[in-house]
Amino acid sequence: MKSQATDGPQAPGPAPIKTRRFSVSLVWIVPIVAVLVGISLVVHSILQEGPTIVVTFKTGSGLTANKTEVKYRNVVIGQVSDVELSNDQKSVNATIKLAKQAESFTREDSQFWVVRPRIGAGGVSGIDTLLSGDYIGADIGQANGRSKHFTGLENPPPITYGEPGKRFTLFTQDLGSLDIGSPVYYRKIPVGQVVAYALDPDGKGVNIELFIHAPNDKYVTENTRFWNASGIDVNVGANGFAVKTESLSSLLVGGIAFRAPDYSPGDKPAAAEYAYELFEDQQSALAPPNGKPQYLAMRFDQALRGLKVDAPVEFLGVEIGKVVAVNLDYDEKNRSFPVNVGIVIYPQRLGKAHDKMLKALKHDPNDEAGGVRLIGTFIDNGLRAQARTGNFLTGQLYISLDFYPKAEKVAFDANARPVIIPTIPGSLEQLQEKLESMVDKINKLPIERIAGNLDGNLVELRKGMVQFNGKIMPGVQTTLSEVSKTLQTANSTLQSASSTLAEDSPQREKLGQTLDELGRTSRSLRDLSDYLGRHPESLLRGRPDNAAPMDLQGPPRN
């Protein structure tokens, strides 16, 4: 039996399905690749784009959109994309697009400033901007917090890039010639600089912040002393002039020097932010510590021209303080103008004498009442204050504290604050009083009567001399001439008599001696006659002690 499927007609059924492949034309391949590359570049640019920050400056000087760069260590880390006024129109906002690797510059304490040519205490900076143009300098912060808004600095910070070292704080009465960038010296070598200054919160001084570069910061110890090394220090002493300065730079822009005293046992390096006092000069800085101050007052009844604030106060020649106030007062009772002087002393400056005194008197320096009683004891023993001349050329005065046992006793007021020290006149005033006393005594002398009597005595003496020269002197000269002639006659007689005597007889020898005596007597009479002729007043007053011998006063007259 044959199959019907092959021999007979086939039954109708569903038609077979034909599949069709999708194909892209080669014309679209290039645009598609370009789109993919563009998308990848956009994605890459978005992924590589850094943060955007806004920095506020007072002015837009040196800032240009899409031109001004931001640099760190002279490497570009961003660019200014926009510059516009702030909403209050009091500042300028610069929008900065930072690079991806500069994301750390969004820390809250990061700093930004405009770099332009500057001349300051630290020297000349920003010279390269003369050719390349101004740019924004940046310094990375250390804070953990992030920010997108910053306030730009008007001046570059002195210390950047995390330089190693320590900061210290100094306190002084005024800034003087110091400025940001002023150098700090150690043994005349620059090791740091001034980085900031500000008024003390109470307005009574200035706080100065220093930065000492490592490794020199180890030389700043807890016992280190700082002093102002600005300008020239000129001292005039017994050895002449002494001129001191740290360097030419400190002379022009100011400077600070520091050193520890030579004897500093147990000293150790100071920690960062350690606070010190800034002294005026090296001598006061390295001096022994002042200790507890003590304020005293005194009242002078004399003019004190030349006494100024800061004038020294000395005790037995040792400087222990200074003058802090000089004020003119009015005394209603005496209707005079005394001068009130305030001083501050530091007893510890007396050194061993102070220590021995406290030990001998068993006094506690913290006992204020005991200290007042101690001063009262000194006053009872003659402690007095005196204004003395310290320099005759300038007329400057200083206050001297010394003991005057013969000084007039005064009552001590133990309740007065500050304690009042009695005073005595100055040395010049004492000399002036003595001169005035002498002048008063001379004025009280009867000068006219004494002059009249003296003039009368001189007239009488003149009359006596005229009478003596006219009457007495001629007779004396005649007598002396006759005596001389008599002696000459006697001399001739004796010579004739001696010729008759034997040469070796004793009588002749004695006769010769007699003739010599007569000759000397005759010469003496002639000299006396000549002297009386030149000095007749010697008969009344005698021969002066310093008169030359008669034989040296001229040849005798025959």
Could you tell me the pTM of the whole model?
Answer: 0.53
Sign of CA dihedral 477, 480, 482, 485: negative
Name the residue type at position 325. Answer: A
For 388, counting Cβ atoms within 10 Å of its Cβ (0-12 exposed, 13-18 middle, 19+ buried), the class is middle
**What pLDDT score was predicted for residue 556?**
47
Distance CA 340, CA 309 (A): 12
Average pLDDT estimate for 84-88: 92
Q: Looking at the predicted structure, is the pLDDT value of residue 2 above 50?
A: no
**What pLDDT score was predicted for residue 141?**
87
Distance CA 303, CA 326 (A): 11
Place of tokens 């050193």: 259
Q: Residue 174 contacts by C-beta under 8 Å, 6 or more apart in sequence? A: 205, 206
**What pLDDT score was predicted for residue 350?**
83
What is the chain's percent helix, strand, coil content, to nearest 5?
A: 35, 30, 40
Q: Looking at the predicted structure, is the pLDDT value of residue 5 above 50?
A: no
Average pLDDT estimate for 72-76: 91
DSSP H or E stretch at residue 326: strand 318-328
Contact between 257 and 279 (Cβ < 8 Å):
no
DSSP of 80-100: EEEEEE-TTSSSEEEEEEEEG
- Percent of the chain scoring above 90 in pLDDT: 29
Name the residue type at position 81. Answer: S
Least trusted range by pLDDT, from 209-213, 361-365, 413-417, 444-448: 444-448
Q: Looking at the predicted structure, is the pLDDT value of residue 110 above 90?
A: yes
**What pLDDT score was predicted for residue 557?**
46
Q: Looking at the predicted structure, is the pLDDT value of residue 482 above 90?
A: no
CA nearest to 401, candidates 421, 371, 420: 421
> What sections of 445-472 are H helices per DSSP?
447-467
- The four Cα atoms 86, 88, 89, 95 give a dihedral, to 10 degrees, of 0
**What pLDDT score was predicted for residue 10?**
55
Distance CA 326, CA 361 (A): 33
**What pLDDT score was predicted for residue 26?**
66
Q: Residue 501 contacts by C-beta under 8 Å, 6 or more apart in sequence? A: 507, 508, 511
Half-sphere exposure of 37 (CA within 13 A, CB side): 6
CA nearest to 379, candidates 342, 346, 416: 416
Q: Residue 480 contacts by C-beta under 8 Å, 6 or more apart in sequence? A: 525, 526, 528, 529
Least trusted range by pLDDT, from 73-87, 238-252, 289-303: 238-252
pLDDT digit string, tens, across residues 492-545? 776 666 566 555 566 656 666 776 776 777 677 677 767 766 766 665 556 666
- Percent of the chain scoring above 70 in pLDDT: 72
DSSP of 392-412: TTTTEEEEEEEE-TTSPP---
What's the per-residue H, E or C state across 508-555?
HHHHHHHHHHHHHHHHHHHHHHHHHHHCCCHHHHCCCCCCCCHHHCCC
CA nearest to 78, candidates 57, 35, 49: 49
Least trusted range by pLDDT, from 346-355, 414-423, 486-495: 486-495
Average pLDDT value for the chain = 79
Q: Looking at the predicted structure, is the pLDDT value of residue 217 above 70?
A: yes
Distance CA 312, CA 399 (A): 7
Name the residue type at position 237. Answer: G
Which of 319-323, 464-468, 553-557 has the highest mean predicted lDDT (pLDDT)? 319-323
DSSP of 83-152: EEE-TTSSSEEEEEEEEGGGGGGGBTT-EEEEE--EEETTEEE-TTHHHH--EEEEE----S-B-SEEE-
Q: Looking at the predicted structure, is the pLDDT value of residue 122 above 60?
A: no
pLDDT category of residue 239 using cuts at 50, 70 and 90: very low
pLDDT digit string, tens, across residues 132-149? 788 999 999 888 899 999
**What pLDDT score was predicted for residue 558?**
44
Break the chain into its structural domains and give their ranges: 48-151, 165-285, 294-440, 462-552
Contact between 389 and 395 (Cβ < 8 Å):
yes
Name the residue type at position 395. Answer: G
Distance CA 521, CA 515 (A): 10
Which tokens belong to 435?
């001169």
